Structure 1
């Protein structure tokens, strides 16, 4: 069994290094004394350039972190994932979202005995999904596509469709409905016509409460508005074909239990992306992700960008005690990226017990949050610069603009550069109100252009980074039992809202339930 990070010889060495020097590292002095700092702490990876030099670490610290990763068996755990071993231990499942973007017929060292068969299934389904997407794109009668899903069946496709809007097919509007609050579905439907709308119902089991409530309401709206031919206007992204057909939905595309919801945009769940950008664009998205997969799988740890980011996350969370990380994409098309990364990281690594089910003696996932720059600068950046908490910032910028407007893009890039610079250098003020302490960390990720390939690589980079920190923390990053209890209680409380029965409830819940019933 692999060592947990706190069981390695490097853990106490890192504690000692932090106590001796790490907590007092001054970035301004570090740059002044090391002309090579930018070169050492920056690197190219597929489609992404990363500058890690404005972070609170030095070469000796990174070396200790890398040694700790080796002692924890990170490479073996990584290879086990790629090979299809059941590393999702609480559910006894493989974790093979990387297989969804592996080229047809490509065998890798360490592949399990059934990987080739699974890869054939992946490409058979992919071909069918993309053929359907291109058919929809060519159908001028369909002007609106409504994706109904939640969690991974919404966040990933929604984020990617917005990010790749410049590649979207003309004449097609994409809508996303996730919330069980009927307001969201109602405000979407009131702009649509049944004869020109396609609904995609995204639920692996076809039992997700929020999704199925919205799906049934969409079907009722379709019938009430005189809609004809459910089979033409509804498709299901599910493995429960019988349940879909019971609702009259005959077009279905499935996926597998080794694809977690937050890792599923590469599967049939990505159908709205494929409709938006076409089959060629979707294959480019997969190719970008696969290039990052290969970087993560083969690059030496010291030049492996997902590894370096994951180790930096551990350094900040467990030694500096930083509780959150702010995400600031300096591109408006990436405005849903912070929400997507929230699920990716906090649902994966928001765990309080290790693989043995016992409580861990250290913190795990940070809180992720953010907004696009420059909006965030006029909202919460005040706290980043002068607040009492030090909060690492991750900026994501794109070198080439996606619009023809003069004067905008250089202003945007200048703001991204300025925020990172200001956080680091600070400013001596004439009084406390105008003083900027500086020495506040940031990471700068740069894409040359926002394309399907670069977006695929960026997402895969973040997936593997989460894997690295979760692996060293000794947790299962691929289950999500924490979302289940609330679902169970909600079913009980829904019935109680109808009946008014408060027997056995705590005083607060009973009081609120009574108030809600009286208001009704």
Structure 2
């Protein structure tokens, strides 16, 4: 990867000059002055997805400078480096090969003189055999009954990914009930345990190191409760407990048999692990055939990212547009609104992919950055958000670039629900772009005045409050339908957007040392909390908080 400060590049300087010329240009004018704007700024992917980025505050010149910025960073070469397994996770000296987990074409993927394709293939075979056995009721619990429930115990990437996907693909769900436990708060375990019968439940403990405090604490609690049941032997754990990890020694120490161990690898980051055995709960929920289609969708986007020229490369364009707003318009946040209730966890999932990856302030040259890196990502399903925070988008003082995503065809054809949902989708992107001018407000006012002139007088003074400036940028994604295949495409697309941003922002996207800091400090404080004496070890605030806890603990 090329390491240089983006703000020193020729393209960045050109973008800065260009921004001063375009910053006050309205989307209304951009569309009026170019009747071919949509054609210029939209792309199709496999005749499945239409990507429209024409409602952005940019021109062909903007894209010219942004694409030159990508070229100055040798983005294409960086993409190839990732696919070749080079150690681009520099601070941890690791390759970044989650893309290999969904590569069906290659028969050889060599890493450290080992063919990891064979390892991946073997794990996929194990997932297939096990998920088929459970779904087909051939796998029995210790009482001889078939499995009815699956509980995935993990946190971060070991929870957010599989949880989001099983929710998004509920239309493909079989008879198994799949639950997720992540939070260290005992309430989470308690509430899930109310829903299951341990005699017919299997537990998937998902932790890369098998030492993650939240996951192992929750797993240990459940293990104790399981072993405390009447007539349960320790050997019965083999029918109910399974591990997804790279630390086999800790798995065996926990009491899980080697046969129930599903390996993952250090070249797969947690937030990119949904494609690995971490996705076992997905395969159990929707069946291995659909899980395979999910992987194939992602693989299709991988090929697009690797082989498509930058100017037609959807993840690259998304990443560049995000950099444009974050650094030149100082937008700081961006939103993702999916108009599909099954996808209600999608923006939450992408928060980790984006913010854990690119929330960095040290560049690849070990310098503190003086530019914006990761933006704050948030979102809510449409149309719920329209009756909540969209008011701020339409008339607030913040610039919030937004991605709007909707399936053309719904899984639930109930009356006219979906066509109404589509009408809101199209209306919002149009309204955010073009707003409501004072001319339109007055025209509407005069029309109403004629209708109501005999009944009451309309207050002329309120017209100004109805003004919506518009000029809020959006990207639109129209998908034919949310399927395992299209969902795979969509997730991989955003993964590669993050990669693009990381390369150009000159940061390392695949470590998370900030997360590690919180863990280590928590371990130190845990020992202090077990001590009954009041503390003076820390700063005055932390000491006071800890001591208040100790004095009021029941």
CA distance in 1, matches of 2:372, 2:415: 46
> How far 1:106 moved relative to its partner?
4.6
> How far 1:115 moved relative to its partner?
7.8
Aligned match of 1:502? 535
CA distance in 2, matches of 1:467, 1:436: 35
Aligned match of 2:200? 196
Deviations 1:194-239 (A, max 9, x none): 1111110000111000000000001112123335511111100012
Aligned match of 2:252? 245
Aligned match of 1:91? 92
Please show how residues 424-503 of structure 1 align to structure 2 within 5 Å: 424-427=433-436, 428=438, 429=441, 430-499=462-531, 500-503=533-536
> How far 1:395 moved relative to its partner?
0.8
Contact 1:168 1:276 in 2 (8 A): yes
Q: TM-score, normalised by structure 2?
A: 0.91
Aligned residues: 515
Please show how residues 244-393 of structure 1 align to structure 2 within 5 Å: 244-250=251-257, 251-393=260-402
SS in structure 2 of the partner of residue 265 of structure 1? helix
SS in structure 2 of the partner of residue 352 of structure 1? coil
> How far 1:48 moved relative to its partner?
2.6
Aligned match of 1:161? 166
> How far 1:516 moved relative to its partner?
1.4
**Whose radius of gyration is greater, 1 or 2?**
2
Please show how residues 67-78 of structure 1 align to structure 2 within 5 Å: 67-78=68-79
Contact 1:85 1:95 in 2 (8 A): yes
Of 213, 217, 220 in structure 2, the residue corresponding to residue 216 of structure 1 is 220
Deviations 1:141-164 (A, max 9, x none): 111100000000000000000000
Deviations 1:417-475 (A, max 9, x none): 11111111111345332111111111111211110000000000000000001100110
CA distance in 2, matches of 1:30, 1:480: 40
Aligned match of 1:130? 128
CA distance in 1, matches of 2:327, 2:45: 26
SS in structure 2 of the partner of residue 502 of structure 1? coil
Deviations 1:286-339 (A, max 9, x none): 100000000000011111001100100110111111110011110000000011
Aligned match of 2:446? none
> How far 1:379 moved relative to its partner?
0.9
Deviations 1:116-159 (A, max 9, x none): 70112111111112211111111271111000000000000000
Please show how residues 147-158 of structure 1 align to structure 2 within 5 Å: 147-158=152-163
Q: Which runs of 5+ in 1 are unaligned?
A: none
Contact 1:153 1:264 in 2 (8 A): yes
Q: TM-score, normalised by structure 1?
A: 0.97
> How far 1:91 moved relative to its partner?
0.6
Deviations 1:246-300 (A, max 9, x none): 2221101011100000000000000001101111101100100000000000011
Which stretch of structure 1 is more off in the superposition, 119-128 or 342-351?
119-128
Of 429, 444, 452 in structure 2, the residue corresponding to residue 420 of structure 1 is 429
Which stretch of structure 1 is more off in the superposition, 233-242 or 1-10?
1-10
CA distance in 2, matches of 1:443, 1:116: 42
Of 168, 182, 185 in structure 2, the residue corresponding to residue 181 of structure 1 is 185
CA distance in 1, matches of 2:105, 2:117: 7
Contact 1:48 1:457 in 2 (8 A): no
Q: Which runs of 5+ in 2 are unaligned?
A: 138-144, 442-461
CA RMSD of aligned residues (A): 1.4
CA distance in 2, matches of 1:114, 1:482: 28
SS in structure 2 of the partner of residue 450 of structure 1? coil
Aligned match of 1:31? 31
